[in-house]
C-alpha cells in the first residue's frame, strides 16, 4: 500500500467522521423538536450530544491514525520524516 493510498484512507475516514458529526447534530435537533422540553433543556441536550460526538470523532481519528501507523510499520514503509532525514544525511555526506 503506497503512502498516498494510506493518506487517502485516512482522509476518507476523517471525511466520514465529519459527515457523521453533521448527521448527529441534525438527529439531536430533530429529537429536541419532537420531544417537549424548554429551550434551555433543548440546547443542553444538543450540546451534550455534540460533545459526545466530538469525543467519538477524536477517538475514531486516533484509532485510524494508529492503524495507519501500524500498517506503515508492518509493511516496512519509510515515512516522509524518515525519508527527509536520510536525504539530509546523504546530502551532508556527499559534501565531505
pLDDT one-digit tens code per residue, 30-73: 777 777 778 788 788 778 877 887 887 788 888 888 888 888 88
Q: Please check the confidence at residue 16 and state whether its pLDDT lies above 80.
A: no
Output the CA–CA distances (angstroms, integers) from residue 24 to 2, 7, 59, 77, 83, in the order listed.
33, 26, 16, 37, 40
Give DSSP secondary structure letters for 40-87. Answer: HHHHHHHHHHHHHHHHHHHHHHHHHHHHHHHHHHHHTPPPHHHHHHHH
Q: Please check the confidence at residue 1 and state whether its pLDDT lies above 70.
A: no
Q: Please check the confidence at residue 3 and state whether its pLDDT lies above 60.
A: no
Q: Please check the confidence at residue 91 and state whether its pLDDT lies above 90.
A: yes
Q: Among residues 91, 68, 78, which one has the least CA distance to residue 9? A: 68
Please give the residue that has the higher pLDDT: either 8 or 61: 61
Give the domain ranges of the chain.
Answer: 3-95
Amino acid at each position: 500500500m503506497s503512502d498516498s493510498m494510506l493518506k487517502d484512507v485516512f482522509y476518507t475516514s476523517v471525511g466520514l467522521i465529519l459527515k457523521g458529526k453533521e448527521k448527529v447534530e441534525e438527529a439531536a435537533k430533530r429529537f429536541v423538536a419532537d420531544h417537549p422540553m424548554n429551550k434551555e433543556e433543548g440546547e443542553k441536550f444538543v450540546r451534550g450530544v455534540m460533545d459526545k460526538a466530538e469525543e467519538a470523532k477524536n477517538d475514531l481519528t486516533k484509532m485510524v491514525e494508529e492503524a495507519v501507523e501500524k500498517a506503515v510499520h508492518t509493511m516496512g514503509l519509510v515515512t516522509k520524516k524518515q525519508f527527509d532525514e536520510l536525504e539530509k544525511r546523504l546530502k551532508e555526506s556527499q559534501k565531505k
